[in-house]
Amino acid sequence: MPLARRLPKRGFNNARFKISFQPINLAALNAFEDGAVVDRTSLLAVGLINTRAPGIKVLGNGELKKKLTVKAAAFSAKARAAIEKLGGQVEVV
């Protein structure tokens, strides 16, 4: 067997530095009252996210029907536009 196949494979692995987001859709945010502030603690209280992922990303799937102030780590362009169209605020944490 060649030497290259017998030696252990080592090197740089970027998996430990990967930032993972927990996705949440706009339709799920309709569970909150009109004018509410939606952040990590309120999403945990309702049960829409779990505690494993460090960040939250709001995606534009579904239709938002309420004016909300949303605090998250990332937003899709469609989600940001939908929240601001209803008069809500978007805050990147």
Structural domain boundaries of the chain?
A: 18-92
CB-based contact 70:88 (threshold 8 Å): yes
pLDDT value for 10:
85
pLDDT value for 9:
85
Task: Per-residue pLDDT tens, the chain, 93 aa: give them.
Answer: 899 999 988 888 888 888 889 999 999 999 999 999 999 999 999 999 987 778 999 999 999 999 999 999 999 999 999 999 999 999 998
Report the relative pairing of strands 69-72 and 37-38 from DSSP bridges: parallel
Q: Which fold has domain 18-92?
A: Ribosomal Protein L15; Chain: K; domain 2 (3.100.10)
Report the relative pairing of strands 37-38 and 74-75 from DSSP bridges: unpaired
Return d(Cα 41, Cα 23) in angstroms, integer: 15
Predicted structure pTM score? 0.78
- Reduce the DSSP state of residue 79 to 3 states and report it: helix
- List the one residue out of 92, 16, 13 whose CA is nearest residue 55: 92
pLDDT value for 71:
95
